[in-house]
Amino acid sequence: MDDDALALLRLLDAGGASAPRRRLLERCGTPAQALAAGEHAWREAGLVGAQVRALGADTGATACVRDWLAKPGHRLIGWHDPDYPALLRRIQSPPLALFSAGDANLLWHPAVAVVGTRAPTAGGRDHAREFALAIARAGFAVCSGLAAGIDTAAHLAALAGDGATIAVLGSGVDVPYPRANAGLHRDIEARGLVVSEHPPGTAARREHFPARNRIIAGLALGTVVIEAAQRSGALITARLAADAGREVFAVPGSIRNPLARGCHRLIRDGATLVEAADEVTAALAPVAQSLADALRRRLQAPICDPAGASAVPVGAPRQDDPDYQRLWSAIGHDPSPMDQLLERTGLTTAELSSMLLVMELDGRIVLEHGRYYRKS
Protein backbone atom coordinates (compact mmCIF):
# COMPACT_ATOMS: atom_id res chain seq x y z
CA MET A 1 0.00 0.00 0.00
CA ASP A 2 1.56 3.28 -1.10
CA ASP A 3 1.94 6.54 0.81
CA ASP A 4 -0.76 8.27 -1.19
CA ALA A 5 -3.37 5.65 -0.34
CA LEU A 6 -2.46 5.83 3.33
CA ALA A 7 -2.54 9.62 3.29
CA LEU A 8 -5.88 9.64 1.48
CA LEU A 9 -7.34 7.37 4.16
CA ARG A 10 -6.08 9.83 6.79
CA LEU A 11 -7.74 12.69 4.89
CA LEU A 12 -10.99 10.72 4.71
CA ASP A 13 -10.79 9.92 8.42
CA ALA A 14 -10.50 13.63 9.20
CA GLY A 15 -14.20 13.93 8.34
CA GLY A 16 -16.18 17.17 8.17
CA ALA A 17 -16.74 19.30 5.08
CA SER A 18 -15.05 17.84 2.02
CA ALA A 19 -14.51 21.06 0.04
CA PRO A 20 -11.48 22.20 2.13
CA ARG A 21 -9.91 18.76 1.78
CA ARG A 22 -10.47 18.77 -1.99
CA ARG A 23 -8.88 22.23 -2.07
CA LEU A 24 -5.90 20.96 -0.09
CA LEU A 25 -5.45 18.09 -2.55
CA GLU A 26 -5.67 20.48 -5.49
CA ARG A 27 -3.05 22.77 -3.97
CA CYS A 28 -0.65 20.03 -2.95
CA GLY A 29 -1.10 17.64 -5.87
CA THR A 30 -1.05 14.34 -3.96
CA PRO A 31 -2.45 13.09 -0.65
CA ALA A 32 1.06 12.38 0.66
CA GLN A 33 2.14 15.95 -0.10
CA ALA A 34 -1.12 17.26 1.40
CA LEU A 35 -0.44 15.39 4.62
CA ALA A 36 3.18 16.53 4.67
CA ALA A 37 2.21 20.18 4.04
CA GLY A 38 1.39 20.64 7.72
CA GLU A 39 -1.09 22.50 9.86
CA HIS A 40 -0.57 25.93 8.34
CA ALA A 41 -1.36 24.69 4.82
CA TRP A 42 -4.33 22.68 6.14
CA ARG A 43 -5.80 25.76 7.76
CA GLU A 44 -5.14 27.85 4.67
CA ALA A 45 -7.14 25.34 2.63
CA GLY A 46 -10.04 25.91 5.04
CA LEU A 47 -9.84 22.86 7.31
CA VAL A 48 -11.42 23.60 10.69
CA GLY A 49 -10.03 22.75 14.14
CA ALA A 50 -11.52 19.27 14.44
CA GLN A 51 -10.26 18.32 10.98
CA VAL A 52 -6.78 19.68 11.69
CA ARG A 53 -6.61 17.76 14.99
CA ALA A 54 -7.84 14.54 13.35
CA LEU A 55 -5.35 14.90 10.52
CA GLY A 56 -2.51 15.53 12.99
CA ALA A 57 -3.19 12.35 14.99
CA ASP A 58 -2.69 8.99 13.26
CA THR A 59 -5.74 7.17 14.58
CA GLY A 60 -4.76 3.89 13.00
CA ALA A 61 -8.44 3.25 12.51
CA THR A 62 -7.83 2.21 8.94
CA ALA A 63 -6.46 -1.31 9.55
CA CYS A 64 -9.49 -3.19 8.25
CA VAL A 65 -9.71 -0.76 5.35
CA ARG A 66 -6.06 -1.50 4.50
CA ASP A 67 -6.84 -5.21 4.45
CA TRP A 68 -9.81 -4.60 2.20
CA LEU A 69 -7.75 -2.46 -0.20
CA ALA A 70 -5.07 -5.14 -0.46
CA LYS A 71 -7.51 -7.53 -2.12
CA PRO A 72 -7.73 -7.78 -5.93
CA GLY A 73 -10.35 -5.63 -7.64
CA HIS A 74 -10.54 -3.23 -4.72
CA ARG A 75 -9.55 0.40 -5.23
CA LEU A 76 -9.63 3.79 -3.60
CA ILE A 77 -9.84 6.65 -6.10
CA GLY A 78 -9.23 10.13 -4.69
CA TRP A 79 -10.04 13.62 -5.92
CA HIS A 80 -6.42 14.02 -7.06
CA ASP A 81 -6.51 10.82 -9.11
CA PRO A 82 -6.77 11.12 -12.91
CA ASP A 83 -9.08 8.09 -12.71
CA TYR A 84 -11.63 10.05 -10.65
CA PRO A 85 -14.69 10.02 -12.96
CA ALA A 86 -14.99 13.21 -15.03
CA LEU A 87 -18.76 13.45 -14.71
CA LEU A 88 -18.74 13.02 -10.94
CA ARG A 89 -16.13 15.78 -10.66
CA ARG A 90 -18.70 18.21 -12.04
CA ILE A 91 -21.43 17.88 -9.39
CA GLN A 92 -21.93 20.43 -6.66
CA SER A 93 -20.43 18.42 -3.83
CA PRO A 94 -18.26 15.64 -5.25
CA PRO A 95 -17.02 12.98 -2.81
CA LEU A 96 -13.39 13.27 -1.70
CA ALA A 97 -12.81 9.66 -2.77
CA LEU A 98 -14.61 6.56 -3.98
CA PHE A 99 -14.05 3.00 -2.80
CA SER A 100 -14.68 0.64 -5.67
CA ALA A 101 -15.02 -3.11 -6.00
CA GLY A 102 -15.16 -4.63 -9.46
CA ASP A 103 -14.40 -3.15 -12.85
CA ALA A 104 -13.34 0.45 -12.07
CA ASN A 105 -13.19 1.22 -15.81
CA LEU A 106 -16.98 1.47 -15.65
CA LEU A 107 -16.54 4.79 -13.86
CA TRP A 108 -15.59 6.26 -17.24
CA HIS A 109 -18.20 4.36 -19.20
CA PRO A 110 -21.25 6.39 -20.30
CA ALA A 111 -23.92 5.50 -17.75
CA VAL A 112 -27.65 6.03 -17.27
CA ALA A 113 -29.20 5.99 -13.79
CA VAL A 114 -32.41 3.94 -13.48
CA VAL A 115 -34.12 4.64 -10.16
CA GLY A 116 -37.50 4.46 -8.47
CA THR A 117 -39.56 3.25 -5.57
CA ARG A 118 -38.61 0.34 -3.30
CA ALA A 119 -42.20 -1.00 -3.58
CA PRO A 120 -43.19 -0.76 -7.26
CA THR A 121 -46.32 -2.07 -8.93
CA ALA A 122 -45.90 -5.15 -11.14
CA GLY A 123 -46.07 -2.80 -14.12
CA GLY A 124 -43.39 -0.53 -12.71
CA ARG A 125 -41.07 -3.47 -12.16
CA ASP A 126 -41.64 -4.53 -15.78
CA HIS A 127 -40.85 -1.03 -17.01
CA ALA A 128 -37.64 -0.96 -14.94
CA ARG A 129 -36.58 -4.26 -16.50
CA GLU A 130 -37.39 -3.16 -20.03
CA PHE A 131 -35.70 0.22 -19.74
CA ALA A 132 -32.58 -1.16 -18.03
CA LEU A 133 -32.21 -4.00 -20.52
CA ALA A 134 -32.57 -1.68 -23.53
CA ILE A 135 -30.23 0.91 -22.01
CA ALA A 136 -27.61 -1.76 -21.29
CA ARG A 137 -27.99 -3.20 -24.80
CA ALA A 138 -27.48 0.29 -26.24
CA GLY A 139 -24.03 0.26 -24.61
CA PHE A 140 -24.65 2.36 -21.51
CA ALA A 141 -23.90 1.19 -17.99
CA VAL A 142 -27.00 1.03 -15.80
CA CYS A 143 -26.35 2.89 -12.56
CA SER A 144 -28.58 2.44 -9.51
CA GLY A 145 -28.59 2.08 -5.75
CA LEU A 146 -29.01 -1.68 -5.04
CA ALA A 147 -32.24 -0.86 -3.15
CA ALA A 148 -35.30 -3.15 -3.28
CA GLY A 149 -37.82 -2.63 -6.06
CA ILE A 150 -36.90 -0.57 -9.12
CA ASP A 151 -33.13 -0.50 -8.36
CA THR A 152 -32.99 -4.29 -8.02
CA ALA A 153 -35.00 -4.85 -11.20
CA ALA A 154 -32.71 -2.47 -13.10
CA HIS A 155 -29.44 -4.08 -11.93
CA LEU A 156 -30.81 -7.59 -12.61
CA ALA A 157 -31.97 -6.70 -16.10
CA ALA A 158 -28.62 -5.14 -17.00
CA LEU A 159 -26.80 -8.28 -15.79
CA ALA A 160 -29.30 -10.54 -17.59
CA GLY A 161 -28.55 -8.66 -20.82
CA ASP A 162 -24.79 -9.07 -20.26
CA GLY A 163 -24.62 -5.32 -19.85
CA ALA A 164 -22.62 -3.12 -17.53
CA THR A 165 -24.05 -2.07 -14.19
CA ILE A 166 -22.86 0.11 -11.32
CA ALA A 167 -24.30 -0.08 -7.79
CA VAL A 168 -23.71 2.95 -5.59
CA LEU A 169 -24.11 2.17 -1.89
CA GLY A 170 -25.00 4.26 1.16
CA SER A 171 -23.09 1.72 3.25
CA GLY A 172 -19.50 0.53 2.91
CA VAL A 173 -18.77 -0.98 -0.47
CA ASP A 174 -18.51 -4.42 1.20
CA VAL A 175 -21.80 -4.10 3.15
CA PRO A 176 -24.77 -5.25 1.04
CA TYR A 177 -27.91 -3.29 1.82
CA PRO A 178 -30.64 -4.45 1.98
CA ARG A 179 -29.41 -7.85 3.20
CA ALA A 180 -31.74 -9.61 0.77
CA ASN A 181 -29.58 -8.26 -2.04
CA ALA A 182 -26.34 -9.88 -0.83
CA GLY A 183 -26.35 -12.24 -3.84
CA LEU A 184 -26.98 -9.42 -6.30
CA HIS A 185 -24.22 -7.38 -4.60
CA ARG A 186 -21.78 -10.26 -5.18
CA ASP A 187 -22.84 -10.60 -8.82
CA ILE A 188 -22.41 -6.88 -9.46
CA GLU A 189 -18.96 -6.88 -7.87
CA ALA A 190 -18.02 -9.85 -10.07
CA ARG A 191 -19.54 -8.61 -13.34
CA GLY A 192 -19.93 -4.86 -12.84
CA LEU A 193 -18.90 -2.32 -10.26
CA VAL A 194 -19.88 -1.47 -6.68
CA VAL A 195 -18.86 1.93 -5.33
CA SER A 196 -19.29 3.95 -2.15
CA GLU A 197 -17.79 7.04 -0.60
CA HIS A 198 -17.86 5.31 2.79
CA PRO A 199 -14.98 3.14 4.02
CA PRO A 200 -15.49 -0.62 3.97
CA GLY A 201 -17.36 -1.80 7.04
CA THR A 202 -19.60 1.28 7.29
CA ALA A 203 -23.18 0.32 8.17
CA ALA A 204 -26.09 1.70 6.10
CA ARG A 205 -27.56 4.81 7.71
CA ARG A 206 -30.70 6.64 6.71
CA GLU A 207 -28.85 9.95 6.34
CA HIS A 208 -26.37 8.42 3.90
CA PHE A 209 -28.98 7.83 1.22
CA PRO A 210 -29.62 11.33 -0.11
CA ALA A 211 -25.82 11.77 -0.34
CA ARG A 212 -25.54 8.39 -2.06
CA ASN A 213 -28.12 9.60 -4.59
CA ARG A 214 -25.92 12.52 -5.65
CA ILE A 215 -23.27 9.97 -6.69
CA ILE A 216 -25.80 7.93 -8.70
CA ALA A 217 -26.93 11.12 -10.46
CA GLY A 218 -23.37 12.39 -10.80
CA LEU A 219 -21.95 9.27 -12.45
CA ALA A 220 -24.73 9.16 -15.06
CA LEU A 221 -25.30 11.22 -18.21
CA GLY A 222 -29.01 11.07 -17.43
CA THR A 223 -31.45 9.69 -14.89
CA VAL A 224 -34.62 7.72 -15.63
CA VAL A 225 -37.31 7.63 -12.93
CA ILE A 226 -39.68 4.69 -13.36
CA GLU A 227 -42.16 4.87 -10.47
CA ALA A 228 -41.82 7.16 -7.47
CA ALA A 229 -44.04 8.54 -4.74
CA GLN A 230 -44.39 12.31 -4.31
CA ARG A 231 -41.64 12.41 -1.68
CA SER A 232 -38.99 9.85 -2.38
CA GLY A 233 -35.31 9.23 -2.80
CA ALA A 234 -35.80 8.82 -6.54
CA LEU A 235 -37.08 12.41 -6.77
CA ILE A 236 -34.01 13.58 -4.85
CA THR A 237 -31.78 11.75 -7.33
CA ALA A 238 -33.70 13.36 -10.20
CA ARG A 239 -33.33 16.85 -8.74
CA LEU A 240 -29.63 16.35 -8.11
CA ALA A 241 -29.27 15.16 -11.72
CA ALA A 242 -31.07 18.27 -12.98
CA ASP A 243 -28.91 20.49 -10.75
CA ALA A 244 -25.83 18.91 -12.27
CA GLY A 245 -27.15 19.76 -15.74
CA ARG A 246 -27.97 16.13 -16.58
CA GLU A 247 -31.07 15.09 -18.47
CA VAL A 248 -33.93 13.72 -16.32
CA PHE A 249 -36.45 11.32 -17.83
CA ALA A 250 -39.70 10.25 -16.18
CA VAL A 251 -42.11 7.48 -17.15
CA PRO A 252 -45.75 8.60 -16.81
CA GLY A 253 -48.49 6.37 -15.48
CA SER A 254 -52.17 6.19 -14.76
CA ILE A 255 -53.54 8.98 -12.56
CA ARG A 256 -54.93 6.12 -10.42
CA ASN A 257 -51.39 4.94 -9.61
CA PRO A 258 -49.98 6.84 -6.61
CA LEU A 259 -46.49 5.80 -7.68
CA ALA A 260 -46.89 7.74 -10.92
CA ARG A 261 -47.27 11.00 -8.96
CA GLY A 262 -43.56 11.53 -8.44
CA CYS A 263 -42.92 11.07 -12.16
CA HIS A 264 -45.75 13.43 -13.06
CA ARG A 265 -44.34 16.02 -10.71
CA LEU A 266 -40.94 15.73 -12.37
CA ILE A 267 -42.53 16.12 -15.80
CA ARG A 268 -44.35 19.25 -14.65
CA ASP A 269 -41.02 20.56 -13.39
CA GLY A 270 -39.35 20.02 -16.74
CA ALA A 271 -38.25 16.38 -16.91
CA THR A 272 -38.61 14.69 -20.28
CA LEU A 273 -41.63 12.39 -20.50
CA VAL A 274 -40.50 9.05 -21.98
CA GLU A 275 -42.56 6.14 -23.17
CA ALA A 276 -39.69 3.88 -24.28
CA ALA A 277 -36.01 3.34 -23.57
CA ASP A 278 -34.92 4.27 -27.09
CA GLU A 279 -36.05 7.82 -26.38
CA VAL A 280 -33.54 7.88 -23.50
CA THR A 281 -30.66 6.40 -25.45
CA ALA A 282 -31.37 8.61 -28.47
CA ALA A 283 -31.35 11.73 -26.30
CA LEU A 284 -28.10 10.75 -24.57
CA ALA A 285 -26.21 9.41 -27.58
CA PRO A 286 -24.84 12.83 -28.62
CA VAL A 287 -23.69 13.56 -25.05
CA ALA A 288 -22.03 10.14 -24.83
CA GLN A 289 -20.36 10.77 -28.19
CA SER A 290 -19.10 14.18 -27.05
CA LEU A 291 -17.77 12.63 -23.88
CA ALA A 292 -15.93 9.97 -25.87
CA ASP A 293 -14.55 12.53 -28.35
CA ALA A 294 -13.41 14.89 -25.62
CA LEU A 295 -11.68 12.09 -23.75
CA ARG A 296 -9.96 10.96 -26.91
CA ARG A 297 -8.78 14.51 -27.65
CA ARG A 298 -7.61 14.94 -24.12
CA LEU A 299 -5.62 11.72 -24.17
CA GLN A 300 -4.04 12.65 -27.52
CA ALA A 301 -3.21 16.24 -26.62
CA PRO A 302 -3.16 17.07 -22.93
CA ILE A 303 -4.13 20.68 -22.51
CA CYS A 304 -1.36 21.23 -19.95
CA ASP A 305 1.22 20.41 -22.67
CA PRO A 306 1.84 23.56 -24.73
CA ALA A 307 3.60 21.50 -27.40
CA GLY A 308 0.55 19.23 -27.72
CA ALA A 309 -0.94 18.64 -31.15
CA SER A 310 -4.44 19.81 -30.18
CA ALA A 311 -6.43 20.77 -33.25
CA VAL A 312 -8.47 23.23 -31.21
CA PRO A 313 -6.62 26.13 -29.59
CA VAL A 314 -7.39 26.05 -25.88
CA GLY A 315 -9.70 28.84 -24.83
CA ALA A 316 -10.92 29.65 -28.32
CA PRO A 317 -14.33 28.67 -29.69
CA ARG A 318 -14.37 26.50 -32.80
CA GLN A 319 -14.61 28.85 -35.74
CA ASP A 320 -16.74 26.43 -37.71
CA ASP A 321 -19.60 25.87 -35.28
CA PRO A 322 -22.10 28.68 -34.72
CA ASP A 323 -23.59 26.91 -31.68
CA TYR A 324 -20.19 26.82 -30.00
CA GLN A 325 -19.61 30.46 -30.85
CA ARG A 326 -22.97 31.38 -29.40
CA LEU A 327 -22.25 29.42 -26.23
CA TRP A 328 -18.73 30.82 -25.95
CA SER A 329 -20.01 34.37 -26.10
CA ALA A 330 -22.75 33.51 -23.58
CA ILE A 331 -20.14 32.30 -21.07
CA GLY A 332 -18.41 35.23 -19.46
CA HIS A 333 -15.79 35.58 -16.78
CA ASP A 334 -18.57 35.92 -14.24
CA PRO A 335 -19.96 32.49 -13.33
CA SER A 336 -23.31 31.72 -15.01
CA PRO A 337 -25.71 28.99 -13.94
CA MET A 338 -27.00 26.45 -16.46
CA ASP A 339 -30.43 28.14 -16.61
CA GLN A 340 -28.92 31.41 -17.72
CA LEU A 341 -26.87 29.72 -20.43
CA LEU A 342 -29.97 27.85 -21.64
CA GLU A 343 -31.80 31.15 -21.90
CA ARG A 344 -28.93 33.02 -23.53
CA THR A 345 -28.19 30.39 -26.16
CA GLY A 346 -31.60 28.88 -26.88
CA LEU A 347 -29.92 25.44 -26.94
CA THR A 348 -31.61 22.35 -25.49
CA THR A 349 -30.44 20.97 -22.13
CA ALA A 350 -28.91 17.95 -23.88
CA GLU A 351 -27.04 20.07 -26.43
CA LEU A 352 -25.84 22.54 -23.84
CA SER A 353 -24.83 19.84 -21.40
CA SER A 354 -22.74 18.01 -23.96
CA MET A 355 -21.09 21.20 -25.23
CA LEU A 356 -20.25 22.36 -21.70
CA LEU A 357 -18.77 18.95 -20.93
CA VAL A 358 -16.52 19.13 -23.98
CA MET A 359 -15.43 22.70 -23.25
CA GLU A 360 -14.67 21.73 -19.68
CA LEU A 361 -12.70 18.64 -20.63
CA ASP A 362 -10.87 20.77 -23.20
CA GLY A 363 -9.91 23.09 -20.35
CA ARG A 364 -11.67 26.12 -21.79
CA ILE A 365 -14.23 26.61 -19.04
CA VAL A 366 -14.53 25.89 -15.35
CA LEU A 367 -17.53 24.57 -13.44
CA GLU A 368 -17.75 25.68 -9.82
CA HIS A 369 -20.76 25.49 -7.50
CA GLY A 370 -23.01 24.75 -10.48
CA ARG A 371 -21.82 27.85 -12.41
CA TYR A 372 -19.68 28.02 -15.51
CA TYR A 373 -17.05 30.59 -16.44
CA ARG A 374 -14.14 31.04 -18.84
CA LYS A 375 -10.84 29.64 -17.65
CA SER A 376 -8.63 32.37 -19.08
Site string for a copy of itself, 256-295 (x = CB under 8 A): xx--xx--x--xx---xx-xx-------------------
C-beta neighbour count of 114 within 10 angstroms = 36
Return d(Cα 27, Cα 22) in angstroms, integer: 9
Residues 6+ apart with CB under 8 A from 214: 91, 92, 93, 237, 240
Minimum CB distance to a copy of itself smaller for 254 or for 325: 254
Candidate list 98, 153, 251, 280; residue touching a copy of itself; CB under 8 A: 251
What three-state secondary structure class fits 181?
helix
State whether the Cα torsion 35-39-45-49 is positive or negative. positive
Total binding residues for a copy of itself by CB under 8 A?
18
305 contacts a copy of itself (rule: CB under 8 A):
no
Out of 80, 127, 155, 364, the only residue in the binding site for a copy of itself (CB under 8 A) is 127
User: If binding is defined by CB under 8 A, does position 129 make contact with a copy of itself?
Assistant: no
H or E, element range at 323: helix 322-330
Residue selected from 110, 170, 199, 253 as contacting a copy of itself according to rule CB under 8 A: 253
Least Å from the CB of residue 272 to a copy of itself:
8
Binding of residue 254 to a copy of itself (CB under 8 A): yes
* Residue 132 contacts a copy of itself per CB under 8 A: no
Other beta carbons within 10 angstroms of residue 15's beta carbon come to: 12
Q: Measuring CA to CA, how many Å separate 301 from each of 97, 152, 294, 295, 307?
A: 27, 41, 10, 10, 9
CB of 137 to a copy of itself, least distance (A): 18
Identify which of residues 257 and 310 has a Cβ nearer to a copy of itself in the complex.
257
Give the residue with the Cβ less far from a copy of itself, 255 or 307. Answer: 255
Contact 94, 22 (CB under 8 A): yes
Where does this chain bind a copy of itself (CB under 8 A)?
A: 123, 127, 251-257, 260-261, 264, 267-268, 272-273, 275-276
